[in-house]
Chain A
């Protein structure tokens, strides 16, 4: 029983981790919180639904459709709203408000396109459950964990082993020095946006089959992803992953063994306790 509860916690924790990772990426490059991150997840799920159910595309093509569309959306937001505001030296609050406005816009547009009715998407595996070491595991939970692990490894390789990835990190660490070294900072910022949107879109694609998808699914997952990023240490992608897993597992364990009525409350109380003890988060920017 404990194993199943832990696995369900890790499953949701992976989703929060990926959304939190997206928050951290954008924060690193722009010093702003992207409150449309939850809607990136929702749009990713919707595009995957469109690909597999409406256009009946093979899974791989549908995934490319989802990630590609969200990458374009991210570029659009950066070019149309964030970049102009930065050039005008707009207040950070204005940029946060711009993200919030986009979040509402995406939700409403999604409702117009796909309706507000819950939609079902098939899981990655035909079999609903697998028996692993005597534990019954929902196949989609397995898909979530495997996909999260693979995508995070790929991202780690990108940031640590490729010139481009290291340029993105350098630009986030110190914009002026990176510029002086010939790095195109604007391209690096756009890259951060694209990667954050794609990560959240991937999260939406893998979480959709667990329950059902709807235009309202982004809000709660976005908030928890934000909490993951804050707990892990704003600006620390590794911290965001750790924070997401911690929140997911805590929510599941506290809900199962203490009370389901207060599981989310307890998870966020944990967040406040972490911030009280260590305001920069578990793996805060200072310790990166």
Chain B
């Protein structure tokens, strides 16, 4: 009798424990937490953690009659497509995540979608290469804007002020993708770049590239790449007296660019946060209070908003992943959060797999050692 009671109690306790253990909603966070792109990966992860903790503080995500807490499983892909793929495989097969937030780099996202799409795992990536999203990849969504949106916003600002555009980009997915977007946008204006120069990431001597751009007679440089190399270009431009305006992608918002801000004075770029938006200001305050550092704005804000969107979708799918989660996202999820112009927010649906549209972008420039929002040249 005593034995039977003991066994019953044990089974009851283990049964309860297994119910409790299955309570969390696992979300994978995949990105470059270390390395040259960590200025993007780490804020994305920390923004996501902030959102997850806020949601959990309210009891978690409502899945039918019960609330389940979010559990983030973080994997560092070091901005390497190979490591990103193996990271995604680990998240899907070993950690059994319901959805993956990331990767942050375009090359990684292009590789990882080949894994997540067949596995029917929703991927919410901030990577901006335009070819990442497509009808062949219904499970892939973007928690940011597309590269072409950034380029459109930039050219809307420039108008017809410049005639001779040079392309200067690195050989990564962002660099190459950006160059393609710039060329498309120029073609719409009936123009072609007067020169296109490339370089490998972390190259120490970019004087040949900058020299050729100067010799081409370009009056505007379209730059596309990772932020750290911009400083090498800026220094070379100063050395040879190449004083033309440079516009690039929001990689210029990586905080490493401020370490050589004088070399990049005046460089402009579109971005997804709005410094004047109350929700962004609130988010930034919370972020700084928690992490004691100012992040690169765009990965942090979209990492934060994306978790809230994912939470909404999980609520609709009652905590289910796979096709149920996809259907929930496709039906539409939205938030007026830290990302997007004031009064607008991130929105995902079947017809809108890209969370931020070009009309929601703001224009920034590097000025006096900091980032400054502006409206016209």
Contact = CB atoms under 8 A, between A and B. Distances in A.
Interface string B232-266: 10011011110000000000000010011010000
Interface string A1-37: 1001100100110000000000000000000000000
A115 interface: yes
Interface residues of A, number: 33
Contact of B207 (A8, A117, A120): A8
A252 B214 CA distance: 15
Contacts of B39: 117
Contacts of A74: none
A115 B260 CA distance: 20
Contacts of A138: 235, 239
B35 interface: yes
A118 B240 contact: no
A256 interface: yes
B199 interface: yes
Interface string A108-138: 0001000111101000000011000000111
A214 B36 contact: yes
A116 B198 contact: no
Contacts of B238: 128-129
Contacts of A252: 205, 207-208
B276 interface: no
A99 B259 CA distance: 35
Nearest to B35: A116
Query: Do most interface residues of chain B lie in helix, strand or loop, or is the interface mixed?
Result: helix
B149 interface: no
Query: Do most interface residues of chain A lie in helix, strand or loop, or is the interface mixed?
Result: helix
B219 interface: no
A4 B208 contact: no
Interface string B76-92: 00100000000000000
A260 B198 contact: yes
Nearest to B39: A117
A207 B204 contact: yes
A4 B259 CA distance: 25
Given A5-B207, A5-B208, A260 B38 contact: no
A201 to B, nearest CB: 17
A213 B207 CA distance: 18
A251 B207 CA distance: 11
A128 B265 CA distance: 14
Nearest to A120: B259
A252 B240 CA distance: 14
A216 B37 CA distance: 13
Given A118-B202, A118-B228, A255 B209 contact: yes
Contact of A118 (B36, B209, B215): B36
B207 A212 contact: no
B286 to A, nearest CB: 24
B285 interface: no
A47 B273 CA distance: 38
Interface string A198-218: 000000000100111010110
A137 B197 contact: no
A163 interface: no
Contacts of B8: none
B78 A129 contact: no
A126 B266 CA distance: 22
B231 interface: yes
Contacts of B236: 8
Nearest to B32: A116
A256 B207 contact: yes
Contact of B228 (A11, A129, A212, A256): A212
Given A4-B239, A211-B231, A256-B211, 19 more contacts: A8-B205, A8-B208, A11-B205, A12-B205, A116-B35, A117-B38, A118-B202, A136-B239, A136-B241, A207-B204, A211-B232, A212-B231, A212-B256, A252-B205, A255-B212, A256-B208, A260-B197, A260-B198, A260-B208
15 contacts: A8-B205, A115-B34, A118-B228, A120-B231, A120-B256, A128-B238, A136-B241, A211-B204, A211-B231, A214-B202, A217-B202, A251-B205, A251-B208, A252-B207, A256-B212
The 9 closest A-B pairs by CB, nearest first: A255-B208, A8-B207, A116-B35, A256-B208, A211-B232, A118-B228, A120-B259, A211-B204, A256-B211
